[in-house]
Amino acid sequence: MRRNDPKELVDLGLGFVGFFAVAFVIITAVCELTGQPALTWALVSLVLVIVFIALLQARRRIQASRLRAEEARAGQDS
């Protein structure tokens, strides 16, 4: 894999953001169940989930553009 591969960077971001999103959702649930204030935790969880979804969309776009490029190259070779 190339070092400057955009898909690799997006995958790294997905792992990082996904880990913290799960952690913050768990923290939010624990705060809600114990009666502690959880608004800040919930808002941070929401932001992390939105960033995670945006990264998934970016990964999907990268894969689609690579597939189109491969199909174009295959069409030129034929």
pLDDT tens digits along 9-56: 999 999 999 999 999 999 999 999 999 999 999 999 999 999 999 999
The model carries a pTM of: 0.84
Ordered DSSP codes for the chain: --TT-HHHHHHHHHHHHHHHHHHHHHHHHHHHHHT---HHHHHHHHHHHHHHHHHHHHHHHHHHHHHHHHHHHHHHH-
pLDDT for 2 equals: 58
pLDDT for 58 equals: 95
The domain limits of the chain are 6-77
pLDDT tens digits along 58-71: 999 999 999 998 88
